[in-house]
């Protein structure tokens, strides 16, 4: 794989400096099993299985939870788990999931589900001000967890005649699950300085051992309120320490100045960089803004591929067929500075190779390669102006993103 399509232009593979080795190994749990989950039916089937098999606890936290067909499937599974004595904690974001009706929430609570909207720092009777809960995670029995970019709504699920949005998650069991359980509890409790005794440790001790687990996994969080920028640092580490290539699959790709500088420096030292972006976006303004920076990417010898299936919503990046980061984090200022984001970094060469193979297939079968000639041919002066206006507008949205009107419940 390292000599395959994603291999870098430079054939020299220098040994990593000690400081790089230290950075790349910091914070990892050692004994984990991992599975790469492509979104759609595979993701929701795995989620429903986790809930149905839970014996002690379920934590589900997400940005969007709709009371549509897919949301009802998940909600019914949560209610059934609560009725059989499982402690079920459900927390959607207070803004993105404000469409949830009172009867829908009441039925969850009557079934025994502990339900709470995530609320940011400052709130009144009429509005919120703060950050949004953007991560997507489910943890069951402090034994299994799944982290990714998928919300719980119809457009992320495969249905007859409908292809789900392209998104991904990682399923894990092992040491990392205890940390993820603790994160869920802290989020549920509002991140107090002291959370007291948590059930995670006891549940984890009850879980059977998993011989042969070998994947190294670390939890990465971005949360400006708690001064955590771990996912941003993972991406910077990836670009600074790459030896041959980096593959980025991202929706809403609008990197800030620091990230663009690191991209440019990596490309200049011979790192082959490929970026898989949306061809069709649910937010046209964001897509127009993305296309404004295509010129810059191509000038820096960064390859661009636009996905031609449905909407691309995934957030995954792989480095050197060695390690990857996956989760809810988009490469833009809103994810970097305004939302609570959750990723997992997975250091496992076999796992990374499998993910790269998935990306190779997507590029070959479902993408178009955006070249400079194509861009010049399709770009008019008017389009260029629209893209520039969109880029400037999106840059300013971070200041509005933390303010929204409150839903009564």
User: What contacts 128, CB < 8 A, 6 or more positions away?
Assistant: 94, 95, 119, 120, 122, 403, 404, 405, 406
What pLDDT, on a 0 to 100 scale, did the predictor assign at position 259?
93
Q: Is 29 helix (H, G, I), strand (E, B) or coil?
A: strand
Q: Using an 8 Å Cβ cutoff, are 363 and 248 in contact?
A: no
Confidence of residue 126 (pLDDT cuts 50, 70, 90): low
Q: The tokens of 46 are what?
A: 């795995």
Residues 148-177 have pLDDT tens digits of 999 999 999 999 989 999 999 999 999 999
401 has a pLDDT exceeding 70: no
Rounded Cα distance between 161 and 331, Å, is: 31
Name the more confident of 129 and 284: 284
Rounded Cα distance between 282 and 396, Å, is: 19
The mean of the pLDDT values for the chain is: 87
Confidence of residue 15 (pLDDT cuts 50, 70, 90): very low
- If you count them, how many residues does the chain have? 409
Residues 204-236 have pLDDT tens digits of 877 777 777 789 999 999 998 888 999 999 999
CA 22 to chain centre: 25
Q: The tokens of 9 are what?
A: 């232009």
Q: Domains in the chain, ordered, with CATH?
A: 18-27+221-401 (3.30.870.10), 32-214 (3.30.870.10)
Q: Using an 8 Å Cβ cutoff, are 121 and 300 in contact?
A: no
Please state the rounded mean pLDDT for residues 20-45: 85
Rounded Cα distance between 353 and 350, Å, is: 5
Residues 106-120 have pLDDT tens digits of 999 999 999 999 986
Residues 286-295 have pLDDT tens digits of 788 888 889 9
User: What contacts 356, CB < 8 A, 6 or more positions away?
Assistant: 1, 4, 6, 247, 318, 321
The DSSP result for 110-161, as a single string, is HTT-EE--B--SEE-SSEEES-EE--EEEEETTTEEEEES--BSGGGS-BTT
The DSSP result for 236-282, as a single string, is HHHHHH-SSEEEEEESS----HHHHHHHHHHHHTT-EEEEEEESS-S
Q: Is 46 helix (H, G, I), strand (E, B) or coil?
A: helix
């Amino acid at each position: 794989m390292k000599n395959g399509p994603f291999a870098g232009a430079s054939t020299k593979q220098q040994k990593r400096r000690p400081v790089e080795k230290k950075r790349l190994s910091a914070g990892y749990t050692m004994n984990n099993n991992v599975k790469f989950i492509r979104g759609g039916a595979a993701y929701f089937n795995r989620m429903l299985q986790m809930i149905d098999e839970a014996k002690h606890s379920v934590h589900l936290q997400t940005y969007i939870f709709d009371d549509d067909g897919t949301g009802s499937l998940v909600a019914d599974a949560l209610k059934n788990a609560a009725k059989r004595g499982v402690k079920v904690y459900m927390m959607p974001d207070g803004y993105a999931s404000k469409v949830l009706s009172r009867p829908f929430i009441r039925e969850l609570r009557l079934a025994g589900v502990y339900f709470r909207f995530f609320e940011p720092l400052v709130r009144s009777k009429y509005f919120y001000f703060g950050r949004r809960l953007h991560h997507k995670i489910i943890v069951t029995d402090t034994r299994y967890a799944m982290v990714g970019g998928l919300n719980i709504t119809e457009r992320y699920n495969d249905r007859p005649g409908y292809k789900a949005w392209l998104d991904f998650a990682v399923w894990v069991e092992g040491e990392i699950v205890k940390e993820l359980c603790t994160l869920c509890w802290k989020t549920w409790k509002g991140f107090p300085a002291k959370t007291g005794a948590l059930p995670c440790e006891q549940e984890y001790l009850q879980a059977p051992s998993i011989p042969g687990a070998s994947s190294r996994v670390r939890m990465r969080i971005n949360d400006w309120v708690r001064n955590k920028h771990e996912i941003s640092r993972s991406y910077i580490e990836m670009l600074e320490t790459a030896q041959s290539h980096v593959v980025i699959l991202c929706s809403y790709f609008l990197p800030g100045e620091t990230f663009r500088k690191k991209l440019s420096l990596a490309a200049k030292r011979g790192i082959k960089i490929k970026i898989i972006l949306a061809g069709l976006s649910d937010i046209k303004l964001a897509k127009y803004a993305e296309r404004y920076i295509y010129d810059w990417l191509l000038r820096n010898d960064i390859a661009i591929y636009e996905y031609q299936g449905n909407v691309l919503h995934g957030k995954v990046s792989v480095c050197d067929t060695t390690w990857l980061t996956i989760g809810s984090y988009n490469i833009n200022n809103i994810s970097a500075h305004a939302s609570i984001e959750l990723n997992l970094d997975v250091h496992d060469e076999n796992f990374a190779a499998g993910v790269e193979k998935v990306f190779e297939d997507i590029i070959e079968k479902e993408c178009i390669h955006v070249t400079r000639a194509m861009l010049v041919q399709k770009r008019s002066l008017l389009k260029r102006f629209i893209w520039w206006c969109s880029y400037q507008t999106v840059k300013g949205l971070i200041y509005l993103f933390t303010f929204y009107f409150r839903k009564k419940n």
